[in-house]
A and B are shown apart, each in its own frame.
Chain A
Amino acid sequence: MASATFLLRGSPPPSSTKGGNSSANAGSSNIVAMDFGRRSRVGFEDLALPQLAALYNHARWLCRDEAEAEDLVQETLSKALRAFDSFQPGTNFKAWVFRIQRNAFLNSRTAIAESRTVFLEDQEDAFDPPSAGLTPEQELIRLDNIALVQDALAQLSTPQREVLLLCDLEELSYKEIADVLDIPIGTVMSRLARARQALRKLLQPRFGGSR
């Protein structure tokens, strides 16, 4: 299987970068404290403040509530500040702080309520088939409707939505996502594939006549 030969990114040297499809906050997605010497000069704020918008956006998608999302980011910042000594220079601060936020979220009202919901197990054989029968132009038109895609994202289960956000929006590597979510890389890949499959399926009926 092809995946067995992947050289997964996310570990030093930090020369490999994600390029290509840029998102609104792509410029701040790879903030890395370079070394101990610089770290002494780069304060917590210098690393954390550029991530505020991303942390809040992610929190809103998780909590679905403005006040709860703000509380979550506030708690995340407090915990991150207290644990800043444990941050390893040379690693991705964004992945580190997202992991803290994710753990804080697990104790939130929303997460506790959702914990009663049983999600389908991640399956290793899940894959992401393209929308057969649609031309790239047709598919582009379909995906160009932001509101529809947002609606579809909102309908995904929380585990699927957060893995998509971390990968496609926050541009974390598979390994970093695995660290944030505390799951194996293989599960990240299968969950991503399943999430994308679900997203396509949710978008499909809205254009039922286009196939």
Chain B
Amino acid sequence: MNTDHLTPTTIAALVDHELAAQEVAAAQEHLAACHTCALAVLSATQLKTATARAAQRYTLSPEMRDRLIATTRGRTSGARIVPMRAYTWAALAALVLLTVSLISWRGLHPAIPSALSPVVAELFDQHLAVLPESSVPQVLSSDKHTVKPWFQGKLPYSFNLPEPAELPAETTLQGADLTYIGGEPAAQLLFLTRKHHVSVFFMRRDVLAPLSIERHGYRLRSTTTNGLTMTAVGDVGDGDLGALLTVLARVQS
């Protein structure tokens, strides 16, 4: 009989059924006579059994089983209802709230085009279109009493023009065009400020929010007054545009 105690490795291999038949026989012969090793084997067996029992913890629900079987049959697994966690619900609720708020806000405050609006691009383009020497204003006059009446019947609104003396220094009225901005008729007044061309567009209110931007060397400044939106575009400073708009706004009231 082998009197050497079984090593821990042998005990583990014995309980894991990893020993060859002759090794099992030898171990059993020793265990029959060695209480210490028999207890060790018993302890290891109990631990293994308890581990197996405890590890069998999670069961497959019939629904999940069906979904998994569907996978093996080549059907889409999209039918799985993904469990919604608390934060998912919270995010969804926040999204709904945000959407409702946005819709309500848009209802109360109709969208006013901003600097990124296509209207802005149209205004710049329209100003550039009148710059060539060959471009002649539809109404060529510095007289407000000629220019203003010319728009009667052409615009769904009216506007006033200042006397030449009221205009900022070195600024004169050159003429005007009837143009279309955003698909609506608008008046384009052509001014000359220190030999720089400046267009002032008269449009209905809320076509453009008040703003001041610069693009490719040209500046655009917009303001609203008395039911009108006035937008000045030109290659002059923001102060010059502001001064011109201030004079024009003053005569509208």
CB pair B8 A193 closer than 8 Å: yes
Distance in angstroms between the alpha carbons of A38 and B145 in the assembled complex: 104
Within 8 A of B (CB), among A1-34: 1-3, 5-9, 18-21, 23-25
Distance in angstroms between the alpha carbons of A1 and B55 in the assembled complex: 31
Q: A113: CB under 8 A from chain B?
A: no
CB pair B43 A139 closer than 8 Å: yes
Q: A174: CB under 8 A from chain B?
A: yes
Interface size class of A (residues with CB under 8 A): 35 or more
Q: Known: A6-B18, A169-B52. Is A45-B46 also a contact (CB below 8 A)? A: no
CB pair A56 B20 closer than 8 Å: no
Distance in angstroms between the alpha carbons of A191 and B67 in the assembled complex: 35
CB pair A19 B58 closer than 8 Å: no
**B 186-216 to A, binary, CB cutoff 8 A, 1 in contact else 0:** 0000000000000000000000000000000
Q: Known: A81-B72, A174-B18. Is A6-B23 also a contact (CB below 8 A)? A: yes
Task: Pick the contact of B52: A9, A81, A127, A168 (CB < 8 A).
Answer: A168
Q: Flag the segment in A69-77, A98-106, A115-123 that touches B.
A: A69-77
Task: Pick the contact of A174: B16, B42, B57, B59 (CB < 8 A).
Answer: B16
What are 22 of the A-B contact pairs (CB < 8 Å)? Answer: A1-B9, A6-B18, A8-B18, A45-B69, A49-B69, A53-B60, A57-B55, A61-B57, A61-B58, A77-B68, A77-B71, A77-B72, A127-B8, A128-B8, A128-B12, A130-B39, A130-B43, A136-B39, A165-B55, A168-B48, A173-B18, A174-B16
Residues of A within 8 A of B (CB): 1-3, 5-9, 18-21, 23-25, 44-45, 48-49, 52-53, 56-57, 60-61, 66-67, 69-70, 73-74, 77-78, 81, 127-131, 134, 136, 139-140, 143-144, 146, 149-150, 153, 164-165, 167-169, 173-174, 189, 192-193, 196, 199-200
